Amino acid sequence: MWLAPPEKQRGIKRERLLRALLFQPDGSLSKRELARRACTTSEWAVNVTNQLESMGYVDGTTVTEHEQLFEYWLNNRIQPNRVSVAIQNPVTTIQQTNFEHAFTTYQAENAKQGYLFPARTAVYIHPDDAGDWTNWIESNALIGGGNTEIRVGDEHVFYEADLVNDMDIVCTPQLILDLLDEGGPCVDAAHRLMDAYYA
């Protein structure tokens, strides 16, 4: 199947912890609660946070250097599988599918912050729905190039997803990461979000 979730890797568990840490960076989570939210073991949470603490990015579960932690995440992220398609009115059309999804990059940033023009659409889908999405795309979109990127990765990407202006979007830390990864003007938008979220 051309649209399939990536193979499970140890790095995915680390990403889950980073997402949960950066979502609630104030140190109010115990390492056991962090592990629960990241859907991983307490042992793994302790190992990862100890490693991050040795790098100076966290103190326990308090994020002390969010920019450096995002850079670490960016350098170690497991890229989702992606397919580019052309869809008419992509946001409305995708919302009408009734499949679980969460927008990111341009569309999500525009809904949340309004700095970027939503020139392109990127959306995460749930890996359990990849087969249904494949069938839907073959019937409703043109494959190869286009205005929309459909991404499938770990289901934890939906952690604390938000509804903003009637649009399902990824949580702010995931959005920041995706904007940094996108490059160009998205990097400036990411830093603006950081300044607001981690003030």
pLDDT in tens, 57-88: 999 999 999 999 999 999 999 999 999 999 99
User: What is the pLDDT, as a whole number, of residue 1?
Assistant: 41
What phi and psi values does residue 62 have, to the nearest 5 degrees? -90, 125
CA distance 137 to 154: 20
Question: Measured between alpha carbons, how far is 120 from 149 in angstroms, rounded to an integer?
Answer: 8
Q: How far is CA 188 from CA 161, 168, 184, 194, in A?
A: 22, 23, 8, 10
Sign of CA dihedral 24, 27, 33, 38: positive
CATH node for 81-197? 3.30.460
Q: Where are the alpha helices (DSSP H) in the chain?
A: 10-23, 31-37, 42-55, 66-76, 90-95, 105-112, 130-140, 172-182, 185-197
The pTM (predicted TM-score) of the whole model is 0.95
Q: What would the CATH number be for the domain defined by 10-76?
A: 1.10.10.10
pLDDT tens-digit profile of 123-178?
Answer: 999 999 999 999 999 888 888 788 999 999 999 999 999 999 999 999 999 999 99
Q: Kindly give the pairing relationship between strand 121-125 and strand 101-104.
A: antiparallel
Region 166-192: mean pLDDT is 98
pLDDT tens, position by position, 25-58: 999 999 999 999 999 999 999 999 999 999 999 9
Widest pairwise Cα distance in the chain: 51
Same fold, 10-76 and 81-197: no
92 pLDDT exceeds 90? yes
Domain residue spans of the chain: 10-76, 81-197
pLDDT in tens, 102-129: 999 999 999 999 999 999 999 999 999 9
pLDDT over 90 at 185, yes or no:
yes
pLDDT computed for residue 141 by the predictor? 87
Helices and strands in the chain, H and E counts: 9, 9
